[in-house]
Chain A
Amino acid sequence: MSIFEIIRFAIRGLNSNKLRTTLTTLGIAIGVSSVIILLAVGNGSSKAVQAGIEKLGTNTITIQSNRGGFGGGRASASRAASSKPLTVGDAVALSSPINAPDIKQAAPVASASVACAVGTNSSTPGTFNGTWPSWFEASNTSIATGTYFTNDDVTEGRRVAVIGSTVATDLFPGSNPVGQVMRCGGIPFTIIGTTEKKGSNGFQDGDSLVVAPLTAVQRSLTGYNNLQSIVVQAKSAKVQDLAQTEINTIMDSQHKIKNTNNRDYRTLNQASLLQTTSSSNSVFTVLLGMVAAISLLVGGIGITNIMLVTVIERTREIGIRKAIGAPKRAIMTQFLIEATILSLVGGVIGVIGGFAGSHFKIVGVQPIIIPASVFLAFGVSILIGVFFGGYPASRAASLRPIEALRYE
């Protein structure tokens, strides 16, 4: 008999027990979609954590002065006596492309702690930085409206400023701050731009921010000898360790450090953050793998169970078909086609369900589908479905008809 005839038999077989067919399909679909969604949720939360860490700027190194301010007592006092403050000269030296080939740029930062006011509105920015234009790139800060200030603004000491969104809404509720003037610590600054929203990093509001040219801030607010930090940007996250070494070499020579255990500056290397990222990534990968393995196993057992029950239930039917002259091949092919159709339809519905389900946020996590998981879930469930539908059917078809007929 022709293959088309057998396919028609298979379809008729599926049609003749719609409830069983629906439940089997549903079982496979749920198996497939749960694998896809579970992995997508895992992947989504992994990506969210990664993105959160990357936002902090993974290839920046911050140099801070070790001078005073901590503790007190004689030890720190004696160290303070021999130590030098960070200077603009340090930043210039760090920018040298010859001595520091792996450093993209360095920006000195002078921080002030002042309140800003416009009319009756006031805001105390968490961060008030006087710096160079290169700071924006080094700190991963971009402009939403208006412009950055320029090197020219720094040279001229112009009192211009870029503000974060928190400061903008505090001072200029409902109006465009660009072009307006605010007074910070009594000094007028013209606002030339606002920064892209950064959100909170958990400790402080990244948008409670004012950035102005270093010279203007030093001249009017902090004085010249008081750099808070130097932000250094490595050329890439990969060469960060090299950049770190170059920083130490340059700073040691700038500050005439003999004993490297007793430096008057310290560096906050984002490499540790990067390490945290990669270690958290590997934890997530292991976790995802386990989730995948367990959900595939559970889904697979479900599919196996349904298929086995379905075929065993029909052993008697197989006996009848053999008794009236069905060749073994025809029976096997029919059951194999039935199993394939069930697995395919269930698999496709499961994939669609997986994609649909991954559109919704699940406990605050936006799932991101891993393409490989779709193929994995689809492939594995079809293999399982076809095998556990086909294998018992072929066994039943190999029985003598009378044995299959007696099967209860």
Chain B
Amino acid sequence: MHPVIDVQGAVKQYGVGDAAIFALDGVDLQIKQGEYVAIMGPSGSGKSTLMNIMGALDNMTSGKYFLDGIEIDSLGEDALALVRGRKIGFIFQSFNLIPRTTALANVELPLAYQGIKGKERRERALAALKVVGLSERVNHEPTQLSGGQQQRVAVARALCTRPALLLADEPTGALDSKSTHDLLDLFDQINAAGRTVVLITHEDDVASRAKRVVRMRDGKIISDVLNKRASV
């Protein structure tokens, strides 16, 4: 069985010549179905760049990236949109909900872009909101929700399309400890259900919840270890 994520020799270069900066400097990373991976590293280590490439939000200068066996770099604009919609659920540090739009409408959005209509769409969105524990707040707009609640809406939005892969770029970065704890419990639950989860963090206690920790520095992977999964 092929890995969910297969990054081979990924290079991301900004600028040219003497001014060239390598955000990624030859990264190889394979992640198998059902893994729970934390990517750690200081700022500027290239972890976010790697995440954006894995989420098909950014392209790389050279290298290959296979997502679920599909070579992403060879895809056109429309196919990329499909991949983003169906294969990947992406969670941002800053939530990135559509402003002035209810939680339900936000969660329905990726389903709508996939052409799922009316009742089914609504049911799936409500189910996802129920999973993240926001059934009571479906008609609230982002500004009426706390940071933790907004992030859970974002998780519901990422989950409702039943993606193979859940990518989270510092999802707890803007949250207090209680919300962080709730969100990590949610990720555990999602991973336990068989979904692949990859998250970026620079907090050790967040990373300790993952089964595998990848450390980066200066655009390279410097360590890749399995967690002993110490009791929390």
Contact = CB atoms under 8 A, between A and B. Distances in A.
Nearest to B101: A16
Interface string B144-160: 00000000000001100
Given A16-B99, A17-B100, A321 B109 contact: yes
B17 interface: no
B84 A323 contact: yes
Contacts of B75: none
Interface string A323-338: 1111111100000000
Interface stretch (A155-163, A258-266, A397-405): A397-405
Contacts of B92: 323, 405
A154 to B, nearest CB: 85
Given A17-B100, A317-B98, A317-B99, A324 B110 contact: yes
Contacts of B112: 1, 5, 9
B90 A1 contact: no
B78 interface: yes
A104 interface: no
A237 interface: no
A317 B99 CA distance: 8
Interface string A127-138: 000000000000
B57 A400 contact: yes
A327 B98 contact: no
A2 to B, nearest CB: 8
A23 to B, nearest CB: 15
A327 B117 CA distance: 17
B58 A325 contact: no
A402 B113 contact: no
Q: Which one of B83, B85, B86, B161 has the highest number of Cβ atoms from chain A below 10 Å of its Cβ?
A: B85
A395 interface: no
A325 B84 contact: yes
B46 to A, nearest CB: 14
A212 B58 CA distance: 97
A317 B97 CA distance: 8
B98 to A, nearest CB: 6
B57 A401 contact: yes
Given A16-B99, A320-B98, A323-B84, A400 B58 contact: yes
B77 to A, nearest CB: 5
Contacts of B84: 322-325, 401
A238 interface: no
A70 B186 CA distance: 111
A359 interface: no
B113 A325 contact: yes
B81 A328 contact: yes
B82 A325 contact: yes
Nearest to B160: A324
Contacts of A327: 77-78, 81-82, 113
Interface residues of A, number: 25
A12 interface: yes
Interface in B42-82: 52, 55, 57-59, 77-78, 81-82
A17 B86 CA distance: 29
Nearest to A2: B115
A400 B55 CA distance: 12
A325 B85 contact: yes
A26 to B, nearest CB: 20
B90 A405 contact: no
B114 interface: yes
B99 A324 contact: no
B214 interface: no
B81 A405 contact: no
Contacts of A2: 115
Contacts of B52: 402
Given A401-B57, A402-B57, A324 B101 contact: no
A16 B112 CA distance: 18
A322 B52 CA distance: 13
Contacts of A329: 78
Given A325-B85, A325-B161, A320 B58 contact: no
B57 A330 contact: no
B96 A320 contact: yes
Contact of A405 (B57, B114, B117): B57
A402 B58 contact: yes
A116 to B, nearest CB: 80
A405 B58 CA distance: 11
Given A324-B157, A329-B78, 11 more contacts: A321-B98, A323-B84, A323-B90, A323-B92, A324-B110, A325-B83, A325-B113, A327-B77, A327-B82, A328-B77, A400-B58
Interface of A: 1-2, 5, 9, 12, 16-17, 316-317, 319-330, 400-402, 405
Interface of B: 52, 55, 57-59, 77-78, 81-86, 90, 92, 96-101, 105, 109-110, 112-115, 117, 157-158, 161
13 contacts: A1-B114, A2-B115, A319-B96, A321-B98, A322-B57, A322-B81, A323-B57, A323-B96, A325-B113, A325-B161, A327-B113, A400-B58, A402-B52
